A and B are shown apart, each in its own frame.
Chain A
């Protein structure tokens, strides 16, 4: 979120072309512009807009991939209305996304504060690397790893819980524990990313302001809540938006660890979409679900932007 200010009157304008025109002579400026953005535009068309338009079209058909599609109008959308499993999937996804946003914002900020203030440089680098490292591991590996770690009999966690007299729950078999377990694993895997964003945000807080607050008699807590936190709100807002968007599309760990069970307690919207499209081969219906997922994400993101006017401090 960088603002580019116009040059002041009388200030020299940097010209990388040394005063010469940077585009080839005779090439219209609009064409040059299109050429510059064409790689990104091509990617957008092929991977974003194209599939989106295709999903809109496919949602109007009954199609099983292997036999010709049949136009059914809005039938897929009508079917969505009474689909209890979709409601369950959306409910689970909202719970997961909400928990993910809260835990990542709080956890990321706390970790960033600890690293930013309390540690010497060497230890700070070590903690940064250690916290970020799980994010570099693929979801498939993380999911399998945690299935071993949380195995109720031979798993590491169960072993130590049993040794201190705690009977481990059925992490992935008890409907009350399955979703929280996935939330915890997601936190472990992705907190490093939020942590880095928070750390970058903290380092943009001008030290003059916190020092001024201290001179005015503010203690550390007051300084944090009345100076640091308000200045961090743009970062918090950014993190909340991208965390929600990512969390609402959660798929890999659920698919690998619980397959949506037990009793659909961990089925998510994208997983339901996958099941419908690539296991039941109801591509039209799956496309309709995809549009619902898109609409929900867009709506929530718009709400976040609308709400940000009330709490995000833009300097």
Chain B
């Protein structure tokens, strides 16, 4: 159960589904960027693109791809949104559709689902398509962050084959309300800061303003991983092959967060509240997030007092990272047309349109992520989300990832809420996780 930031909000943000306000954007033609695909020639036919989102997002998607349709009348582009509760659930829903025989050509898949799809032999290697449009792909890679390409290669390629082209991503920073901090006479950190400094700031803030220091939820990406990674550990091993949830560092991290709750520096977990709203009302001094809270803060007209800072560390710096990526399904009957769509997703025009439209991920292209469309009307120091890639660890996506995520989130909630002591909560969860690896 999440508290401050619902997983739903995060997930809407983490993918292209958050392209919502891109309706009517003046997209330039994709002809210059669009390749002809592995098969060569003008590929046509129906292409079904499955994305993370609901019916509400459908219009936005349609609008973003109007120009694509104009440029490629030979391709009948269809969208199918899946309104899942998590990326893991989304991957499950797609798998179920595939098993049901529904035609799917291109899927927006986040980190959590990328290896599962690859290991199930559902994806078409993109090597031949890349080779035919090498210049286009090279230009795209040159404008995407090296860590994303490296991590994609490490976790989502197999036997030297490339299956995915990367899309937008999210890292985790802390959004802070500088008004609350200055009211308490506390200076926000300018660079790295420690857990002790974070806690001391919270005590001052609580005493002088009554506001909570931060939210203490149990979201895998938004809460569990940032605290673990900033204490030198992670929920799973680097190869996602075993649990590391019961390490002393993990227990220490959970104990620290629990103590914030016990001392009244963080609200009791177990329900739901809207963190940006609470921050705008002066009740919450900070909360964690990637790009997506910016859209909420815009909605609340509360951009100016907010600043992004690094997550506090305890001897080690880190952030989770999740990115969406686009493969061609092996079952696709129009693979060349599907590749044409992917080249459009890689194009500068599409990147610009998504960024201008208020996408909730950091755009894949560096030129977009460091440009005014991304940084203007956004909290101060938003560029931190890109800088954090240097210390980023991917959110794990093992084969039984959805189940494992549930176990980890539940254990974290038990520890933070005090239902179980942190050591017991993590030891019990670790035991269940090891069983899933067996």
Q: Which residues of A contact B (CB under 8 A)?
A: 65-67, 144, 147-148, 150-155, 158, 170-175, 256-263, 275, 278-281
> Closest CB of chain B to A24's CB: distance in Å?
39
CB–CB A259/B1 < 8 A: yes
Of all chain A residues, the one with the shortest Cβ separation from B404 is A279
Are A172 and B270 in contact (CB-based, < 8 A)? yes
Kindly list chain A residues whose C-beta atoms are within 8 Å of the C-beta of B417. Answer: 170, 173-174, 262
Given the interface pairs A153-B268, A173-B414, the reply to whether A258 lies near B1 with Cβ below 8 Å is yes
* A154–B267 touching, CB < 8 Å: yes
* A151 x B410 contact (CB < 8 A): no
Give CA–CA (A256, B271) in the complex, Å.
11
Q: Mark B392-422, 1 if CB is under 8 A from A, else 0.
A: 0000000010110010011001100111100
Q: Which residues of A contact B269 (CB under 8 A)?
A: 152, 173
Contacts of A173 in B (CB 8 A): 1, 269-270, 413-414, 417, 419
Residue in B closest to A264 when the chains form the complex, CB atoms: B410
Q: Which of B53-99 contact A (CB under 8 A)?
A: 85, 88-89, 92-93, 95-96, 98-99
Which residues in A have their C-beta under 8 angstroms from that of B403?
275, 279-280
Q: CB distance B92 to A170 under 8 Å?
A: no
Counting chain B CB atoms within 10 Å of each CB, which of A170, A173, A257, A278 scores highest?
A173
Apart from A66-B120, A173-B419, what are 18 other A-B pairs with CB-CB below 8 Å?
Answer: A65-B98, A66-B95, A66-B99, A144-B272, A147-B1, A148-B271, A148-B272, A151-B273, A154-B273, A170-B270, A170-B419, A171-B270, A172-B1, A259-B409, A275-B403, A278-B92, A279-B400, A281-B92
- Asked whether, in the complex, the Cβ of A151 is within 8 Å of the Cβ of B400, the reply is no
Tell whether B278 is near chain A: CB-to-CB under 8 Å.
yes
List the B side residues contacting A150 at CB < 8 Å: 271
Shortest distance between the CB of B429 and any CB in chain A (Å): 11
A66, B270: Cα distance in complex, Å = 36
Task: Say which size band chain B's interface belongs to.
Answer: 35 or more
- Interface flag for B151 (CB, 8 Å): no
16 intermolecular pairs with C-beta atoms under 8 Å apart: A66-B95, A66-B120, A151-B3, A153-B267, A154-B283, A170-B270, A170-B418, A173-B269, A174-B419, A260-B410, A262-B410, A279-B92, A279-B400, A279-B406, A280-B400, A280-B403
Chain A residues positioned under 8 Å from B3 (CB to CB): 151
Judge whether A147 and B419 touch: CB under 8 Å: no
Chain B positions 107-127 with a Cβ under 8 Å from a chain A Cβ: 120, 122
- The list of the 3 closest CB pairs from A to B, nearest first, reads A151-B271, A153-B267, A152-B268
Query: Which A residues are in CB contact (< 8 Å) with B120?
Result: 66-67
Complex interface: chain B residues within 8 A of A262 (CB): 410, 413-414, 417, 419
- For the complex formed, measure the closest distance between the CB of B183 and the CB atoms of chain A, giving whole angstroms: 20
Most chain B beta carbons < 10 A, residue from A67, A154, A170, A174: A154
Which A residue sits closest to B266, measured CB to CB?
A153
Residues on A with beta carbons closer than 8 Å to the beta carbon of B400: 279-280
B271 neighbours in A (Cβ, 8 Å): 147-148, 150-155, 158, 171-172
A165 vs B85: C-alpha distance in the bound complex, in angstroms?
Answer: 36
Q: Which residue of A lies closest to B283 (CB)?
A: A154
CA distance A91 to B89 in the complex (A): 26
Known: A148-B272, A152-B270, A153-B271. A65 touches B410 (CB 8 A): no
Instruction: List B residues 273-296 near A (Cβ within 8 Å).
Output: 273, 278, 283
Please indicate the chain B residues that have their CB under 8 angstroms from the CB of A263 in the complex: 410, 414, 419-420
Whole-angstrom distance between the Cβ of A173 and the nearest chain B Cβ = 4
A66 and B1 CA atoms in complex are apart in Å by: 29
Query: Residue among A151, A152, A153, A175 with the most chain B CB within 10 A?
Result: A153
B270→A65 contact, CB < 8 A: no
What residues of B have a CB within 8 angstroms of the CB of A256 in the complex? Answer: 85
**Within the assembled complex, what's the spacing in Å between the Cα atoms of A143 and B120?**
34
A19 and B401 alpha carbons, distance in the complex (Å): 69
B80 to chain A, nearest CB (A): 18
How distant is the Cα of A148 from the Cα of B267 in the complex, in angstroms?
13
Q: Which of chain B's residues have a CB closer than 8 A to the CB of A66?
A: 95, 98-99, 120, 122
